Chains A and B, each alone.
Chain A
Amino acid sequence: MKHFIALTLALTLQATAADWQQFRGPQGNGVTSERNLPITLGEKNLKWTVPLPGRGLSGALVIGEKIIVTCSSGITQNRLHILALNAKDGSLIWHRQFWATGRTMCHGKTSVAAPTPCSDGKNIFAVFSSNDVICLDLDGNLQWLRGLTTDYANVSNSLGMSSSPLLIGRAVIVQVENDSESYTLALNKRTGVNLWKLNRPKAANWTSPVRLTNTLIGLQSKNGIDAIRAADGTKAWSYDGGASTIPSSTLRGGVLYIPSHGITALEINKADAENTPKELWQSRRLSPGTGSPVVLGDKVFATNNAGVITAGNLKTGERLWQTRLKGPFSATHVATTTHLYCVNEAGLLQIVDTRGKEGEITGTLNLDDQILGSPAVGGGAIYVRSNGKLFKVSK
């Protein structure tokens, strides 16, 4: 009993509400509850920079005092890396390497370490563009692995895969959709075996699954959104208005903001989420480029490929203001309750105060490296990874 209590306490301490355990953070929408992030920036805010052993645009995870990062290296990027670094000083805690079992070809801009891993605070679930799925505990001990291209030989995309995994219930949802053999799988998070495998539209798709409720996930594709029951992979409802295959949908307050015809807002049925949702509005003036929409306060934000960020009214979709940032952006922004943290492809971190009549840039910091992955937030710090480095920025 003593051991059980100690273990429970240890796990609780390891994984706190402030942890950043998946793509776009604890709620999967890019918003953090952290209140101690800097709102102005200078060189003093760059606390440390450490080299990484490979390329990548996956976001980091923050789990307690550990920062988890994935990378790929080698001429064909066939070496996969998962690292744990110390949040205090960036020192290496552990480093595990694997050989890619699937194809590693991808567009020169992206890399095999594109999907952001996820964690339940006990284990880490890392997915790579080679469709290798690897589960380690927080001490780097291997729990299980899968090679989805060894199982399903045509699961791959010659431009690269990037969908980030999602944990729900006892499943790790892995969306491996492409032009050929196209699936979404639910893997048992304890063993890695299939809980279910769903045929999906045969089309390249770089979006990530979204948790709609505790039992439903949203799978985005060129056709729109399918609400899928996490327990068995059956479909509850579909929105078939088409959707982007690059930026992912964002859920906030029971409303799903889909990159579809600009942005389309769907209200999940409060009484019964399995019923068809209600379309609230559609706005073509909100046009997300590569990064996903962010919802903050009473506004929804979309940044286009030219680096112009547009704020829309959350209830109507009406355009409120636009601010030109220095773009272009590949990384999805992250946000506190008041500010957006936006890092462009050249490594310029820009902080935008969203409270005024238009966006105000309150701080910039040039990290001077190609950055394509969304930042992670935890312990009062922002962690940004480039193709070769990890940066810690804090007050």
Chain B
Amino acid sequence: MRSISTNLIVLAICCTASAASISDSLKTIRAVGPEGKGNAAAAQAWQSLAQAKPAALPQILAAMDGANPLAANWLRAAVDTIASRAKDLPQMELMKFIADQKHDPRARRLAYELIKNANPQLAAKLIPGLLNDPSVELRRDAVQRVIDQGADLKKINKADLAQKQYRIALDAARDIDQIKTITAALRALGQEVDLPHHFGFLMHWKVVGPFDNTDRSGFAKIFPPENKIDFTTTHDGKAGKVKWSPFVTANEYGMVDINKAYPGPGDGLKEVTAYAYTEYNAAAARAVELRLGCKNAWKIWHNGKLIFGRDEYHRGIRIDQYKLNVQLAKGRNTLLVKLCQNEQQQDWTKEWQFQLRVCDPTGTAILAADRPPTPKTGTNNNQPANPTRKPRK
């Protein structure tokens, strides 16, 4: 009897020590920071953590909550390592972990993949309930299921039911490829799809320009709109006085094409800078992502504060190319975009444009409280602006 008691005590001490060790390792790993800070300590902690038993997986996954992206990767590697040698995974605990939407979305997806590898049938049962999940990766599978249902209904000529499924899928879809697939299917069924509304693209702007960007100097130069927004004042532009004017885009991907505001000769103005300004009325103060697509050099200010900028030209554009975290104030928020066009003359360098939307981390549009209806027509000035473009060589 004494022997059993002793063993139990030893076991309890071991378990406590193990739990403490895992907890310490997690704390050390979560402390990694920029420029390799904490790497050496994290490496030691990781060696210990990676020896943990599979029962520790939910605890390690939970440590990803609020972890910085580097720490999350350290933890992910430990999860992969432990899972790869595990004969049995704590499936029920992992299911509970997935069910708790407060956990980190990527950690939940990782838990799902662990289950999927071990027990595909169990994982498949989860999918229907993930249609509006905070994890975009989890919801993707659920959306695809509904898209497939719509396609099946369409094949058997049940157009009304197919439309209904496609609408459900569209409401939930956040990945651009799925949104395009659903939109095409709905339009083939004669349905209207308001993509700017779905994405939350900002369509109504005021623009001013062109200012100078000779030798790409305009990116760093401070032009008057960066100091003060005053729609009543004229400014010294690149080739004369310039003033603010309204600009509306009707592009369904929210493209604000500055060449349509200032259509220079040929393929458009070169070595120029313009500003676009809009206001966003937030129903409540909250954290959001500004998501920008742009192939010109750009800067963006929120409520007068510079958020980010990038001086890269014509390397490509895509929706959500840049994700910028900002804290919206309740009510009026201002957004100012600076957009620089460079000297390049190739066909693929004529674009002078951007697309901007406001959304949450899943990509769900956060619409302004006073968002106007999606415009049917947009600005397209036909008269050339001041001819500052250099002739083609």
| Stretch in contact with the other chain, from B271-279, B280-288, B306-314, B328-336 | B306-314
Are A145 and B312 in contact, with the CB atoms below 8 A?
Answer: no
Flag B11-51 by CB within 8 Å of A: 1 or 0 each: 00000000000000000000000111101101100110010
A-B contact count (CB 8 A): 107
Are A145 and B311 in contact, with the CB atoms below 8 A?
Answer: no
Task: Report if A261 contacts B (CB, 8 A).
Answer: no
With the chains together, A193 CA to B39 CA distance in Å?
8
Are B77 and A158 in contact, with the CB atoms below 8 A?
Answer: no
Task: Report if A151 contacts B (CB, 8 A).
Answer: yes
* Residues of chain B contacted by A145 (CB below 8 angstroms): 39, 70, 73-74, 77
* Residues of chain A contacted by B43 (CB below 8 angstroms): 142-144, 191
With the chains together, A97 CA to B35 CA distance in Å?
21
Are B315 and A101 in contact, with the CB atoms below 8 A?
Answer: no
**A179 touches which of B36, B37, B312 (Cβ 8 Å):** B312
Task: Report if B248 contacts A (CB, 8 A).
Answer: no
Are B73 and A99 in contact, with the CB atoms below 8 A?
Answer: yes
Flag A149-166 by CB within 8 Å of B: 1 or 0 each: 011011001110000000
- CB closest residue in chain A, given B75: A142
Task: Report if B72 contacts A (CB, 8 A).
Answer: yes
**A75 touches which of B68, B177, B321, B322 (Cβ 8 Å):** B177
Flag B134-166 by CB within 8 Å of A: 1 or 0 each: 000100100000000000000000000000000
Are B316 and A105 in contact, with the CB atoms below 8 A?
Answer: yes
Report B81 CB to chain A, min CB distance, Å: 7
Task: Report if B84 contacts A (CB, 8 A).
Answer: yes
**Size bracket, chain A contacts:** 35 or more
Chain B at the A interface: SS class: helix
Given contacts A151-B35, A194-B36, is CB(A142)–CB(B74) below 8 Å?
A: yes
Are A95 and B35 in contact, with the CB atoms below 8 A?
Answer: no
Are B50 and A141 in contact, with the CB atoms below 8 A?
Answer: yes
Are A179 and B315 in contact, with the CB atoms below 8 A?
Answer: yes
* Residues of chain A contacted by B42 (CB below 8 angstroms): 144
Are A101 and B70 in contact, with the CB atoms below 8 A?
Answer: yes
Are A180 and B310 in contact, with the CB atoms below 8 A?
Answer: yes
Task: Report if B69 contacts A (CB, 8 A).
Answer: yes
* Residues of chain B contacted by A233 (CB below 8 angstroms): none
With the chains together, A207 CA to B36 CA distance in Å?
25
- Contacting B at CB under 8 A, from A186-221, are 187-188, 191-194, 202, 204
Report A132 CB to chain B, min CB distance, Å: 8
Report A153 CB to chain B, min CB distance, Å: 7
Report B104 CB to chain A, min CB distance, Å: 11
Are A157 and B84 in contact, with the CB atoms below 8 A?
Answer: no
Task: Report if B80 contacts A (CB, 8 A).
Answer: yes
Are A192 and B36 in contact, with the CB atoms below 8 A?
Answer: yes
Task: Report if B65 contacts A (CB, 8 A).
Answer: no
* Residues of chain A contacted by B37 (CB below 8 angstroms): 193
With the chains together, A106 CA to B316 CA distance in Å?
8
Are A178 and B73 in contact, with the CB atoms below 8 A?
Answer: no
Given contacts A145-B70, A179-B311, A180-B311, is CB(A98)–CB(B175) below 8 Å?
A: no
Are B69 and A142 in contact, with the CB atoms below 8 A?
Answer: no
Task: Report if B318 contacts A (CB, 8 A).
Answer: yes
Task: Report if B260 contacts A (CB, 8 A).
Answer: no
Task: Report if B106 contacts A (CB, 8 A).
Answer: yes
With the chains together, A196 CA to B107 CA distance in Å?
34
With the chains together, A366 CA to B295 CA distance in Å?
38
With the chains together, A159 CA to B321 CA distance in Å?
12
With the chains together, A191 CA to B35 CA distance in Å?
10
- Contacting A at CB under 8 A, from B77-132, are 77-78, 80-81, 84, 106
Are A144 and B36 in contact, with the CB atoms below 8 A?
Answer: yes
**A142 touches which of B40, B77, B316 (Cβ 8 Å):** B77
**B312 touches which of A94, A158, A188, A192 (Cβ 8 Å):** A158
* Residues of chain A contacted by B34 (CB below 8 angstroms): 150-151
Given contacts A95-B84, A145-B73, A146-B36, is CB(A157)–CB(B312) below 8 Å?
A: yes
Are B50 and A178 in contact, with the CB atoms below 8 A?
Answer: no
Given contacts A147-B70, A194-B36, is CB(A96)–CB(B77) below 8 Å?
A: yes
Are A191 and B70 in contact, with the CB atoms below 8 A?
Answer: no
With the chains together, A96 CA to B40 CA distance in Å?
20
Report A262 CB to chain B, min CB distance, Å: 23
With the chains together, A96 CA to B50 CA distance in Å?
13
Are B308 and A150 in contact, with the CB atoms below 8 A?
Answer: no
With the chains together, A146 CA to B77 CA distance in Å?
13
- Contacting B at CB under 8 A, from A40-93, are 74-75
Report B176 CB to chain A, min CB distance, Å: 8
- CB closest residue in chain B, given A133: B36
In this complex, the member of A96, A153, A178, A202 whose beta carbon has the largest number of chain B beta carbons within 10 angstroms is: A96
* Residues of chain A contacted by B177 (CB below 8 angstroms): 75
* Residues of chain A contacted by B78 (CB below 8 angstroms): 142
Report B361 CB to chain A, min CB distance, Å: 14
In this complex, the member of B36, B47, B80, B137 whose beta carbon has the largest number of chain A beta carbons within 10 angstroms is: B36
With the chains together, A97 CA to B315 CA distance in Å?
28
Are B72 and A99 in contact, with the CB atoms below 8 A?
Answer: yes
Task: Report if B238 contacts A (CB, 8 A).
Answer: no
Task: Report if A103 contacts B (CB, 8 A).
Answer: yes
In this complex, the member of B46, B176, B311, B312 whose beta carbon has the largest number of chain A beta carbons within 10 angstroms is: B312
Report B355 CB to chain A, min CB distance, Å: 14
* Residues of chain A contacted by B40 (CB below 8 angstroms): 144, 191
- CB closest residue in chain B, given A96: B80
Task: Report if A107 contacts B (CB, 8 A).
Answer: yes
New A-B contacts (9) at CB < 8 Å, excluding given A158-B295, A193-B35: A74-B137, A97-B76, A98-B76, A141-B81, A142-B50, A145-B77, A178-B312, A180-B312, A187-B36
List 6 contacting pairs A-B, 8 Å CB cutoff, sorted by A: A75-B140, A96-B77, A151-B34, A157-B312, A179-B312, A192-B39
